């Protein structure tokens, strides 16, 4: 069979993900693999008709499509995202229609599931028959047990093609766009209380997104800095070179780092506005997120109130919402809210923008950061373990930050707690003690919390006095 491999890595032949493809080539010698380096060659693909035509011919002639890509900031790299946009813009979806597809990703398993869901949704929109995914850790190919699973995954993919296996669509089609938002009534100004407000966007002139940005900016009584992300002067997407790992300095010599220092760093309230393109925001926004990796695994939004304005059917895109909220939470910031234009009710959107402005200032003034849930807790443990386990040899900046801020928090350094836990464990070996504990477990579970409840009124009064 002829398999078209769409490689999303900007590193081309030196891509880690591509080594997994090469392994499959050696394991399945009776099949032909044609690799299309969309991640590496995206600029050429955008500008040269010849390269674009050749790419489409490769896809049209194949029996199946394998999306092979690393995971960059919870999704595919911006370069692959841009290619997917081009497929829609140039109306060539027929080249993909009816093809069986699967995806192969490499990462450290941080939000790899959202990258898979995104590609699955794209395949559904293209009329492809999505078989499934294989998610590999970057070093998994060294493991013989994983090699066997990779072969089984690909064998199933080939069998699905041979059997012309029917596959049901999982992600419903997106609804038609709503009419562009236009403000209906002038907003009441919200006192910013000295908080620095920054709104970043990628709006086209006359778009609903531009109107939402202007509407929100008008809701703040104090000064608001508004900037288009093109002003960052990005020369290209993240190259995955990890040059920044040593001292947080990007290999690109462009304006992005200066833009970040000017707008992101000083912001108390950061609002990011974008328009849905396929099943995410634009490739330009994805490039912005990818390039932010020059900060490494340090929480670059820490302590900020972050909000989003989304033009498009966000309610039909749970994966996009998960990425947007997950990005805030894992960066130790607080999600002040998300406003979308999808209700199509200008008055309702006006009210939502004003409420967002009011809430963002109120929470910033109170320095409120929502307690972390699973994405942030699990993300911290993944980064902590990966850095300690080997990445710190190259990610020097991350290692310094983690040491300085006590983020290598295992095992617990609370030695009194460790001694107490050990003593309790030994006592639980005594049948009579164990029966007593089991009988009164609910009581024992709440006993340590009683002291906090008793002090709550004092704490609340102290906060009020401030």
Q: What is the predicted pLDDT for the residue at 465?
A: 61
Instruction: Collect all residues with Cβ–Cβ distance below 8 Å to 418 and sequence separation of at least 6.
Output: 411, 412
State which of 102-106, 239-243, 385-389 shows the largest mean pLDDT: 102-106
Q: pLDDT at residue 181 above 90?
A: yes
How do residues 217-257 score in pLDDT, each as one tens digit?
A: 999 998 999 999 999 999 999 999 999 999 999 999 999 99
Alpha-carbon distance of 161 to 36, in angstroms, equals 20
Q: What is the mean pLDDT of residues 149-163?
A: 98
Q: What is the predicted pLDDT for the residue at 438?
A: 78
Q: What is the predicted pLDDT for the residue at 463?
A: 67
Which of 306, 238, 313 has the alpha carbon at shortest distance from 280? 313
Q: pLDDT at residue 401 above 90?
A: yes
Q: pLDDT at residue 178 above 70?
A: yes
Q: What is the predicted pLDDT for the residue at 121?
A: 98
Instruction: Collect all residues with Cβ–Cβ distance below 8 Å to 259 and sequence separation of at least 6.
Output: 227, 231, 232, 233
Q: What is the predicted pLDDT for the residue at 258?
A: 96
Lowest mean per-residue pLDDT among 96-100, 207-211, 459-463: 459-463
Q: What is the predicted pLDDT for the residue at 449?
A: 82
Q: pLDDT at residue 443 above 90?
A: no
**Predicted TM-score of the model (pTM):** 0.94
Q: What is the mean pLDDT of residues 369-396?
A: 93
Please tell me which residue, 419 or 256, carries the higher pLDDT value.
256
Q: What is the predicted pLDDT for the residue at 464?
A: 61
Give the distance, in angstroms, between the CA of residue 158 and the centroid of all CA atoms in the same chain. Answer: 30
Structure tokens at 19: 């080594």
Residue 434's pLDDT band, with cuts at 50, 70 and 90, is: confident
Q: What is the predicted pLDDT for the residue at 390?
A: 86
Tell me the C-alpha to C-alpha distance, in Å, between residue 24 and each of 29, 154, 445: 8, 8, 52
Residue 453's pLDDT band, with cuts at 50, 70 and 90, is: confident
How would you list the strands of the sheet with 32-37, edge to edge? Answer: 32-37, 2-7, 64-70, 100-107, 129-137
Q: What is the predicted pLDDT for the residue at 414?
A: 78
Which of 178, 457, 200 has the alpha carbon at shortest distance from 343? 178
How do residues 247-284 score in pLDDT, each as one tens digit?
A: 999 999 999 999 999 999 999 999 999 999 999 999 99
Q: pLDDT at residue 56 above 70?
A: yes
Q: pLDDT at residue 318 above 90?
A: yes
Percent pLDDT > 70 in the chain is 98
Residue 185's pLDDT band, with cuts at 50, 70 and 90, is: confident
Q: What is the mean pLDDT of residues 293-297?
A: 94
Q: What is the predicted pLDDT for the residue at 452?
A: 81
How do residues 320-368 score in pLDDT, each as one tens digit?
A: 999 999 999 999 999 999 999 998 899 999 999 999 999 999 999 999 9
The angle at the Cα of 428, spanning 423 to 431, to the nearest 5 degrees, equals: 145
How would you list the strands of the sheet with 224-228, edge to edge? Answer: 224-228, 197-201, 269-275, 305-311, 334-340
Using a 10 angstrom Cβ sphere, with 0-12 exposed, 13-18 middle and 19 or more buried, the burial of residue 312 is buried
């Amino acid at each position: 069979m002829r398999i078209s491999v769409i490689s999303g890595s900007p590193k081309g032949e030196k891509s880690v993900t591509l080594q997994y493809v090469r392994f499959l080539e050696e394991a399945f010698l009776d099949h032909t693999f044609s690799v299309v380096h969309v991640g590496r060659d995206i600029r050429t693909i955008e500008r040269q008709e010849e390269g674009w035509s050749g790419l489409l011919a490769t896809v049209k002639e194949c029996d199946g499509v394998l999306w092979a890509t690393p995971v960059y900031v919870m999704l595919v790299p911006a370069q692959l995202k841009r290619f997917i946009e081009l497929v829609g813009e140039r109306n060539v979806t027929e080249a993909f229609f009816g093809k069986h597809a699967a995806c192969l990703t490499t990462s450290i398993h941080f939000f790899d599931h959202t990258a898979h869901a995104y590609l699955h949704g794209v395949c559904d929109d293209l009329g492809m028959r999505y078989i499934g995914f294989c998610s590999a850790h970057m070093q998994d190919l060294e493991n013989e047990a994983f090699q066997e699973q990779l072969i089984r995954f690909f064998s199933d993919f080939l069998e699905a093609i041979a059997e012309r296996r029917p596959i049901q669509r999982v992600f419903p089609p997106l609804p038609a766009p709503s009419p562009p938002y236009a403000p209906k009534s002038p907003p009441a100004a919200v006192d910013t209380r000295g908080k620095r407000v920054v709104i970043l966007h990628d709006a086209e002139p006359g778009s609903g997104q531009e109107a939402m940005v202007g509407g929100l900016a008008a809701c703040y009584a104090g000064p608001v800095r508004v900037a288009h992300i093109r002003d960052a002067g990005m020369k290209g997407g993240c190259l995955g070179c990890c040059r920044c790992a040593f001292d947080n300095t990007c290999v690109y010599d462009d304006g992005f780092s200066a833009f970040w220092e000017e707008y992101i760093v000083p912001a108390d309230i950061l609002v990011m506005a974008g328009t849905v393109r396929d099943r995410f925001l634009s490739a330009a926004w994805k490039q912005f997120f990818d390039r932010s990796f020059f900060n490494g695994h340090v929480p670059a939004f820490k302590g900020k109130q972050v909000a989003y304005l989304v033009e498009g059917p966000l309610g039909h895109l749970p994966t996009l919402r998960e990425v947007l909220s997950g990005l805030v939470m894992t960066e130790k910031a607080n999600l002040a809210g998300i406003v979308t234009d999808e209700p199509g009710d200008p008055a309702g959107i006006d009210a939502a923008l004003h409420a967002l402005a009011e809430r963002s200032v109120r929470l910033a003034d109170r320095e409120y950061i929502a307690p972390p849930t699973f994405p942030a807790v699990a993300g911290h443990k993944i980064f902590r373990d990966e850095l300690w386990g080997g990445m710190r040899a190259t990610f020097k900046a991350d290692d310094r930050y983690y040491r300085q801020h006590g983020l290598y928090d295992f095992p617990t350094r609370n030695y009194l707690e460790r001694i107490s836990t050990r003593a309790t464990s030994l006592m639980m070996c005594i049948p009579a003690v164990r029966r007593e504990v089991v009988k009164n477990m609910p009581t024992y579970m709440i006993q340590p919390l009683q002291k906090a409840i008793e002090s709550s009124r004092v704490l609340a009064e102290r906060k009020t006095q401030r």
